[in-house]
Amino acid sequence: MKKRLVMLLAGLLTVLSMGFGLAQFSDVPAGHWAKEAVEALAAKGIIVGFPDGTYRGNETLTRYQAALIIYRLLQQIQEELKAKGESPTMQAMSSEDIEALKNAVQELAAELAALGVRVSALEDSAATKEDIARLEAMIQELKAQPAPEPGMDAAALQDLADRVEAASIAADTALAQAQQLAEQLDALAQDVEGVKGDLASLQTQVEANAQAIQALNELAVLLNQDVLALQDRVTALEKGLADLQGVDLEQFASKEDVAAVQEFAAALRSDLVGLSEKVSKLESQVAELSRVQYSITGSLTATYGMKTLAGNNFDIDRLFSTPFSTGVFGATQVASPVILPDVASANLSRGSAALTFTVKNTAPKAQGVDFTEASVSLGVDAFTSAFSGVPTIYFNAASVKGTVDGQAFSVAYSRSASRFKFNDYLFVNDNDPAGRETRQGMVAEADLTKLPLSPKVTVVAGVSDVADNGGTGGNLQGNYFGIRVATKPFPGLDLALSYAANDGGAPQPNPVRSALGLDGSLKLGDFSVKGLFVTSKNTSIGGYFQDYFDPAIADWAYYVQLSGKLGPVSLAANYRAIDPDYANGVAGMSASHLPYYAPKPGSSGTGVDGFQSPAPYPANQRGVGGSLELPLGPVKLEGYGDSYVNYNGAPPFSTNLGAAATVGLPMAFSLKVAYDASYTGASYFDLATQTSSTVTGTLSHDGAAGNALVKNLNLTLQGTYDTLGNFFGLATYGTYKLGLGPLSLDTILFRYADLDTSVAGDETLKGGLQASVDLGSLPFKPKLLGEVAARQTGGAGGTEELKWGVGISLGEFLFPGSSLEARYAGYQAAKVDSITTGSADLAFNPADDRLYANREDLLNNKSFNGSVAGFNVTWRYHDLRVDYGEYVLSGWDNINNQAVSGNARTFRISYTVKF
């Protein structure tokens, strides 16, 4: 009887956990194999389905639902016994049977909770139609039991029902755990297969590598957590099995049942071990992949072009920018960086390809040598104007970054634009104008922070173009080498030693040079000192090391700069001495495609063509200077003094002194009053002879300030009184911009300047306008462009310049992706130095009198008259570009009494594919 009751409860739970479809429910098909059993249970009210009229037989039955069904079964038995007038004490069941039933229910619940029964195991033992019939027969047999014996009342039966319900709840908890375990195992298996697919995808889709690695990392963490949770559950399962040792399992389960459970636990442990190994392998693969990221970019370009020129070379930059408009136009023209230089032929036919490959390592090793990033840019001349049986493949650039025992290093190679700087007067090769770099070489740096003094080592080596790409000579040419070691002896102190050498090119247009350099800085509180010493000498004829320190043999450049604060006062002072051989970068082996170092004292501080000079002091100068600044609320006081002589110290000495006060005014105005004076004498700050003395007042308005009186209006009013010459100079200039719907006045420029109001004929009038009309809402999305700028110095018969241009661009020309731009421009001038050579574009600079020619042209009696005019049409279709232009020069050189003329035509088509 005891074993039958156990089988009854276990069978009922198993059948119900599988779920059924009832014929009377809407979601159950007719003819189901469990139809009879279900109808019998439903008819007795033991199962009732869901409120929406469905049974949901494919859903898992919870143990709570099973407890409710068993409870209804017992209640049904009690009701039927009462209906017969019998006491619900079940006469046929002895007290031993009732006690055995209680124990069976309790032991069944304990077994299910401890062993964590798998849902899949329950599914493997799914009830058949015969099982349902047998269960129904057992229920009928139970109801047919004789009347109970005395002493067995309804309370005992109710207690049994309560125990059944409690056991069902415990069984439900255990089954839920087993079900969750099975679901996790299935999910983990699917996740592992998915991760394998992700790894294969990572190998073929390198551009998405970083995102995939992140996802794999997150998945690995989740898998590891799940494995740990599963291991804990298996441990608990084994402990439960150990607790059952010595217990007579025959009381509530067969040996086959126990063996099956033990076999399942062993299989589960094996699965977990295998899964753990797979996860460990996966984590290793993820960690390895996460260290390295790849990216590949490239381009393929084909270009064909031609240019024809008749007559004089001339400059078309004064009109507008084109692919041909770098510098002087003509056979010796340096082409734009897109097209390789071709000085021997007007044919610009080119085909080229470029590929860039980059590898990044996000987790470098702390020990040994390891890289963090490496990139290579490859190029090939697919075809040029001359036949080549084997196309030339070359490195455009390459770089490697990494660590040595955690210390950063880098090595970079450039085919034509290697850039580096040691100090202000040695190897200053990092400030070339764009497109004029001519150095092919390598720059290597290592930041050795773990060594004494934390040195940073820089090594450079390469070769610079002897032809200088159109430069003036005197710069770094031929083979070069340099090494610099920067150290930090203690906090606040930086020192660096440098060595540089250059063979001067072959054939050697310049001497073979070598140089030593020392530079550094020291900061102490609010004060700091900075200085350098560079000694450079001609080594083509040999010599000794001590020659570097003989100023009669070597060329020296040195300075000391002091700065600091005493309360609100800011102070600065300097002493400098720069040998004349440092002009144009000769002694310092520095770039000078344009005159590179600072111009003469008192000038604007810019070199030719408006490029800023990077050196703090000009060549052939020895001097001392200082300045101070004191803010007093809205007032700022300034003063300076500077005295210098040529490098050899031969008089006269020149001295400049000055003081200024600046007052901040409401509505973004400011007023500055300054006094400047110059003297010459026989020694430093000798004021024996005054050469100039001026007082200048400047009222300015900043249109970009938030409190500006007129937004976008920049205005300057300046008056100068020469106290020595007793005359005034005036200047007023500014710019304004305004938007009026589709009309945009981008620049409205005005300038008036009179250097000496007492002299007639030296005034300058300058004005300009740049405007555009955006009609993007119309077909073809047109935009109209226009500009005009003019200046006149000296009135009628003086120097004149006029520049004007018009253009139209169509954002959509004929079909999507196609655009067209057409421009026509002209430039004409009278009494200027030249209109054929290149010059800085100052047309819309309000602080300068010029458009291109110098203000002094009239004073220097320049008499070149002429004009340049032309048009250019550009059509683009994505990365396809076509340019066509025609230009004409016409003028007269009065000094040489000859006409100058020329005409040119340009055509270029280029297509680039990027990937």
Condensed to tens digits (0 to 9), the pLDDT of residues 320-346 reads 888 776 544 543 333 333 233 333 334
Contact 717, 746 (CB under 8 A): no
Least reliable range by pLDDT among 311-320, 430-439, 898-907: 430-439
The yes-or-no verdict on residue 874 having pLDDT over 90 is yes
Residue 129 confidence (pLDDT): 45
Among 165, 55, 182, 23, smallest CA distance to 117 is for: 182
The yes-or-no verdict on residue 595 having pLDDT over 50 is no
The yes-or-no verdict on residue 241 having pLDDT over 90 is no
Higher pLDDT, 716 or 292: 716
600 Cα distance to chain centroid: 41
Q: Quick: pLDDT tens for 548-584.
A: 999 999 999 999 999 999 999 999 999 999 999 888 7
Higher pLDDT, 891 or 170: 891
Residue 690 confidence (pLDDT): 95
Residue 60 confidence (pLDDT): 63
DSSP assignments along 359-405, one per residue: EEESS--SSSEEEEEEEEEEEEEEE-SS--SS--EEEEEEEEEEEET
Contact 419, 443 (CB under 8 A): yes
pLDDT mean across residues, the chain = 75
Quick one: average pLDDT of 584-589? Answer: 85
| Number of Cβ atoms within 10 Å of the Cβ of 256 | 8
User: 110 is written with which tokens?
Assistant: 């304990």
What distance in Å separates the CA atoms of residue 865 and residue 832, rounded to the nearest whole number?
7
Least reliable range by pLDDT among 149-158, 394-403, 697-706: 149-158
pTM of the model: 0.63
Please report, in angstroms and rounded to a whole number, the separation of the first and last CA atoms in the chain: 81
Instruction: For residue 299, name the pLDDT band (cuts at 50, 70, 90).
Output: confident
Sign of CA dihedral 262, 268, 269, 274: positive
Contact 321, 435 (CB under 8 A): no
Among 63, 65, 64, smallest CA distance to 55 is for: 65
Q: Among 6-20, 470-484, 784-798, name the most confident range.
A: 784-798
Pairing of strands 478-487, 635-645: unpaired
Residue 803 confidence (pLDDT): 96
Higher pLDDT, 324 or 3: 324
Quick one: average pLDDT of 706-713? Answer: 94
DSSP assignments along 290-307, one per residue: HHEEEEEEEEEEEEEEEE
User: 896 is written with which tokens?
Assistant: 């040489």
Which amino acid is residue 363, in one-letter code? A
Contact 351, 873 (CB under 8 A): no
Instruction: For residue 881, name the pLDDT band (cuts at 50, 70, 90).
Output: very high
Contact 763, 793 (CB under 8 A): yes
Instruction: For residue 431, name the pLDDT band (cuts at 50, 70, 90).
Output: confident
Residue 176 confidence (pLDDT): 53
Residue 469 confidence (pLDDT): 41
What distance in Å separates the CA atoms of residue 75 and residue 608, rounded to the nearest whole number?
109
Instruction: For residue 906, name the pLDDT band (cuts at 50, 70, 90).
Output: confident
Residue 162 confidence (pLDDT): 56
DSSP assignments along 612-624, one per residue: BP-SSS-SSEEEE
Which amino acid is residue 206, in one-letter code? V
The yes-or-no verdict on residue 115 having pLDDT over 50 is no
Residue 232 confidence (pLDDT): 66
What distance in Å separates the CA atoms of residue 404 and residue 26, rounded to the nearest whole number?
74
Residue 568 confidence (pLDDT): 93
645's enclosing H/E stretch is: strand 635-645
Higher pLDDT, 793 or 57: 793
Least reliable range by pLDDT among 210-214, 640-644, 868-872: 210-214
Q: Among 159-173, 222-236, 327-341, 449-463, name the most confident range.
A: 449-463
User: 480 is written with which tokens?
Assistant: 């070069």
Among 434, 243, 415, smallest CA distance to 321 is for: 434
Q: Quick: pLDDT tens for 795-845.
A: 777 889 999 999 999 998 888 889 999 999 999 998 887 777 766 788 999
Contact 657, 650 (CB under 8 A): no
